[in-house]
Chains A and B, each alone.
Chain A
Amino acid sequence: MATVHPDHLHKLLIGEIFNSRRAFVGIFIFVAMTLLLVGLAWPKGFVASTTILVDEKNIIQPLMQGAAVATDVMDRSRLAKETIFSRKVMTQLLMDTGRLKEGSSPDKQDEHFKDLRKQTSVSSVTKNIIKIEYRDDDPERAYLTTKRYAELFIDETLGAKAAESQAAFNFIEKQVQEYHEKLVQSEEQLKEFRSANADALPGSDTDISSRLSAQQTRIEQYTQELHDAEIKRRSLEKQLSGEAEVATALSREGQYRTRIAELQSQMETLRLSYHDTYPDIVRIRHQIADLNEAIAADRQQRDAAKASGRVLIDDSVINNPMYQQLKRDLSQTQVSIDTLNARIAEAKRQMNSALERGKRVHGGEATLAELTRDYQVNRDIYQDLLKRRENARVSMNLDKERQGLTFRIQEPATVPHEPSGLLFRHFILAALLLGGLVPVGIMYAKLQFDPRIRIGSMIAERSKLPLLAVVPHLWAPSEVNMVRQEIQWLGILVMGTLVVMALISILHLARVI
């Protein structure tokens, strides 16, 4: 692609147009005449339009907030198109405007539908305003069709909405009945199970397990106490075996000898100071002798008793208190051991009984939980459905009363007096403009995209060779004459085209064509 510098463009364009003058005039005539013919054939269109306001915030909605669900319309124009171009609406419209008779062939109907779709335009002006435009050759028909479009659209949409609400209510109602039956069935099952399993009360399992735990603790406690008591008993028995049943007090002979020793000590002390004849010494000697005699007598008596086998009651022999005490403790410990054994046995029996009961309860509890769960789920859903049914009922009533999402014709259709869209004068103007611009554009594109060299200085810039000169075309007189004649003819053709356009325009204005 050769990039043409803007400085050269003007000159090149003129040169190229001159070189391709026949093509230029040919394209001009072709474009101009084509647009002229299109303009003549272009149907004169009368456009009637109406706007519909989608009112979604009416007075009812705030009042019924939460209780009724307002039907939302996400894409207004799409919804409108779907409704308007439905077979039902189009058939009704064609019937109403008298374009379709009863019993028309399907082909004819399809043709009418196609035309209607082509002539109708539905758009969203704002979020809540739908604009329906209809173009027709006949202004009256354009008005009637547009008016009927709006009415049919509103009726159809609201009817569909009411039907939708009704269907929703019916569905919820059906669900409510189904869940009611399920709930009743669940209740029945639960009741039967409870009557069959008295133990299977809620919390039985916990109660049993706490009881078991208490019994277990008690057994452990008694066992420990028993163990302590046995240890105590063994200790007491041990102590008892090493303890005498009676205890002997200090003997009389011992008392005598102790006395003799004391007297001997006194006498020895006195002999240091006195003679053996000193009275005190004599007296002490007599006392010692008396005591010796007493000892001898006592020995004789004891030996005699031993020999005869009699029990000699000795006032020095007494019962051993420690022994008595130990004996008493041992007895008490034995009583405790017996008691504890009895308690442990009782506790074990109770625990076994609780275990048996626990086993029974555990089996029924799973069934109970399942039944209870079913019941609760069914109850919750049923309650929720009841609430929803009431909401649906309100929504249905709203739609029936046409109080929910409403459609209002904001701007009613009117009979168009002036034709709209592309008019004949637009085509004439376009024929003149495009007739000139199209060939120029083609020449420009050719200059832009044709890689062939058209600027001499570019060769010098590119190849670094001097450009000696740019030689313009040398016109021979015969060539000049030919060009002159050619230009004359081309001029006549252009003028002729313009005259034809002018004549046709006049005839068109005069409504001859």
Chain B
Amino acid sequence: MSKIEKALGRARSEKGLVVVGSRTRADGSNQADSQSRDLTVPEGKAAGTQSRADAAAAIAQMNEPSLRDRSELTLQRIIYPDMAENSTVQAFREIRTRILQKTHGQNCVIMVTSVAGDSGSTFVATNLGVAFAFDAGKTALLVDCNLRNPGLQKLFPNQSPLGITDYLEKADLDVADIIHPIGIERLRVIPAGDRREIPSEYFTSLRMKQLLSNIRQRYAERFILVDAPPMSETADTQILAELCDYVLLVVPYGKVTNSQVDTCIKSLDSKKVLGVVFNNEPSAPSLDWKEMWKASLVLLRDSFLELIRTIRNAAKKK
């Protein structure tokens, strides 16, 4: 847990979130534990404090389906609060804090894009959303706008949930129909829906603007993270950037050059760019060398025995 969070936790006295939308679903599940870890507002802002308390109550009533267990999260390379000492978790907490400082705590639409493909922008967007959702007073919504190669689809294995393309194509669909819980507290996802090859037509539509406006107004403490395609692959990203409040640029380790980064930055509105996240820096996993040494010997022994067995069998056959 970051220092800022600890400080905020100490100062926490009351919780408050402003409920803007009207589609909050009541849920009987016990959220007291998560509420106790909520973010608070500074004292002296009585009106705000009251509204935040309402919002927190509303968030607390969000319908959460069965939560994913840790092993599943780990498998999906998604962080969880208990990984507190993990440097990756610390990095995402750091990003979250920097964004909150920049936006003064106001909810906003942040486009997460990358310089080139396979840079981990979906990984950054997902885990940043999770980091926002660590705070019981905040919620995050991931919007998969990578219509050609939707990265968030992996959160819905063997499913084809309604997504953004369905919403934009079918006027009778409601926003609530495309927002799906993914088994992580306070984190919702709008998947891409069916694959589309010409996304720019969708992004320039009025309904798209209305969608973003709607989801932003749904919760005052909701941070919307738009997972956009890499900038070098399509111009749709720039159209999306126009619709979003901020842009977060993901630069992968050892995959892009300075000139590629410069080109991306030049094509973005500098006022909207929150900053750069340098992703996937190499780090060795914590390896138990003693165990590994033992395992190596066992492996060697087994291999040796297997080899002898094979030779014997071959000799018998002859």
Contacts and interface: CB of A to CB of B under 8 A. Distances in A.
A281 to B, nearest CB: 174
Given A472-B88, A479-B285, 14 more contacts: A15-B281, A462-B258, A462-B261, A463-B261, A463-B262, A468-B248, A469-B92, A470-B91, A472-B91, A473-B88, A476-B74, A477-B75, A488-B299, A492-B300
Interface string A205-248: 00000000000000000000000000000000000000000000
Interface stretch (A390-398, A407-415, A452-460): A452-460
A460 B251 CA distance: 11
Given A459-B276, A467-B278, A468-B98, A473 B283 contact: yes
Given A19-B282, A463-B261, A488-B292, A471 B287 contact: no
B265 interface: yes
Contacts of A452: 254-257
23 contacts: A15-B281, A452-B257, A453-B261, A458-B258, A459-B261, A463-B261, A466-B98, A466-B274, A468-B94, A468-B98, A468-B274, A468-B275, A469-B91, A469-B92, A469-B95, A469-B277, A471-B124, A472-B280, A474-B77, A478-B75, A479-B285, A484-B292, A492-B300
Contact of A473 (B92, B273, B282): B282
A487 interface: yes
Interface of B: 71, 74-77, 79, 86-88, 91-92, 94-95, 98-99, 120, 123-124, 127, 248-249, 251, 253-258, 261-262, 265, 273-287, 292, 295-296, 299-300
Given A452-B254, A454-B253, A472 B276 contact: no
Nearest to A21: B284
A458 B258 CA distance: 9
A95 interface: no
Contacts of A487: 287, 292
A3 to B, nearest CB: 11
Contacts of A173: none
A488 B294 CA distance: 10
Interface string A430-452: 00000000000000000000111
Nearest to B295: A488
B178 to A, nearest CB: 28
A491 interface: yes
A471 B275 contact: no
Interface in A5-64: 15-16, 18-19
Contacts of A467: 275-278
User: Which 5 residue pairs of A and B lie closest in terms of their CB atoms, listed nearest first?
Assistant: A456-B278, A15-B282, A466-B275, A468-B275, A469-B91
A453 B257 CA distance: 5
Given A471-B92, A484-B287, A463 B265 contact: yes
Contacts of A282: none
B257 A451 contact: yes
Given A452-B257, A463-B262, A491 B296 contact: yes
Contact of B278 (A2, A451, A471, A492): A471
A454 B251 CA distance: 10
Nearest to A481: B285
Contact of B285 (A450, A460, A483): A483
A465 interface: yes
Contact of A456 (B77, B95, B99, B251): B251
A480 interface: yes
A453 B258 contact: yes
Interface residues of A, number: 39
A479 to B, nearest CB: 7
A2 to B, nearest CB: 8
A474 B285 CA distance: 9
Contacts of B292: 484, 487-488, 491
Interface centre among B95, B248, B253 (most CB of A within 10 A): B253
B95 A468 contact: yes
B284 A18 contact: yes
Contacts of B277: 467-471
A483 B286 CA distance: 10
Contact of B254 (A453, A477, A484, A491): A453
Contacts of A450: 254
Contacts of B120: 471
Contact of A463 (B76, B276, B279): B276
Given A471-B91, A491-B296, A453 B282 contact: no
Contacts of A15: 281-283
A335 to B, nearest CB: 131
Contacts of A477: 71, 74-75
Contacts of B273: 465
Given A452-B254, A452-B255, A470 B278 contact: yes
Contacts of B285: 475, 479-480, 483-484
Interface centre among B92, B255, B258 (most CB of A within 10 A): B258
Nearest to A466: B275
A462 B282 contact: no
Contacts of A460: 276
A478 B276 CA distance: 29
Contacts of A476: 74-77
B75 A451 contact: no
Nearest to B274: A468
B299 A459 contact: no
A484 B299 CA distance: 12
B313 to A, nearest CB: 24
B275 A465 contact: yes
Contacts of B275: 465-468
A319 to B, nearest CB: 148
A488 B293 CA distance: 7
A450 B279 CA distance: 18
B91 A459 contact: no
A80 to B, nearest CB: 57
